[in-house]
Structure 1
Amino acid sequence: MKTAIALRHLAFEDAGILGSVLMERGITLFYVDVATADLSQLDNAKIDLLLILGGPISVNDGALFPFIASELALVQQRLELGLPTLGLCLGAQLIAKALGANIYPGKQAEIGWYPLRLSSSAQHSPVKHLSSAMTTMFHWHGETFDLPAGATLLASSDRYENQIFSWGEKVMAVQCHPEVFTASLEHWFVGHICELSKSGISVMALREASTQYGPKLEQQTRLFFTDWLESIGL
Structure 2
Amino acid sequence: MTQTALAVRHVAFEDLGLIEPVLNRLGYDVLYLDAGVHEISAETVAEADLLVVLGGPIGAADAGRYPFLTAEVDAIRERVRRGGRTLGICLGAQLLARALGAGVEAAGHSEIGYTPLTFTDEGLRSPLRHLADVPVLHWHQERFDIPAGAVRLASTPACPNQAFAVGAHVLGLQFHLEADPRALERWLIGHAQSLTALGLHPQPLREAAADAGTALTTAATRVLTEWLRPVPGPAAEVSGAVGCSAW
TM interval, short-chain normalised: over 0.9
User: For this pair of structures, how many residues does the alignment match?
Assistant: 231
Q: Could you tell me whether the CA contact under 8 Å between 2:50 and 2:85 is conserved in 1?
A: yes
Which runs of 5 or more structure 2 residues have no equivalent in the other structure? 233-247
1:46-57 alignment, distance < 5 Å: 46-57=47-58
Amino acid in the other structure paired with 1:114:
T
In structure 1, stretches of 5+ residues that fail to align are none
Q: Please, which moves more after superposition, 36-45 or 92-101?
A: 36-45
CA distance in 1 between partners of 2:32 and 2:215 (Å): 26
Query: Residues 1-234 of structure 1: matches in 2 within 5 Å?
Result: 1-40=2-41, 42-132=43-133, 135-230=134-229, 232=231
Is contact 1:152-1:167 (8 Å) kept? Answer: yes
- Structure 2: distance between partners of 1:34 and 1:26: 25
Is contact 1:108-1:142 (8 Å) kept? yes
Poorly superposed stretches of 4+, deviation over 2 Å:
40-45
- Measured against aligned partners, the alpha-carbon deviations of 1:18-68 in whole angstroms (never above 9, x if no partner) come to 111000111111010011111238444411000000000001110111100
Matched-pair identity in %: 39
Q: In the aligned structure 1, how far is the partner of 2:70 from the partner of 2:82?
A: 19
User: C-alpha separation between the residues in 2 aligned to 1:214 and 1:194?
Assistant: 25
Q: CA deviation at 1:184?
A: 1.2
For the aligned residue pairs, the C-alpha RMSD in angstroms reads: 1.3
Paired letter, 2:106: P
Aligned partners of 1:232, 1:143: CA distance in 2, in Å? 32
In structure 2, what is the Cα distance between the partners aligned to 1:53 and 1:40? 16
TM-score (norm: length of structure 1): 0.95
Q: How high is the TM-score relative to the length of structure 2?
A: 0.90
Query: 1:21 touches 1:222 (CA, 8 Å); kept in 2?
Result: yes
Q: 2:219 aligns to what SS in structure 1?
A: helix
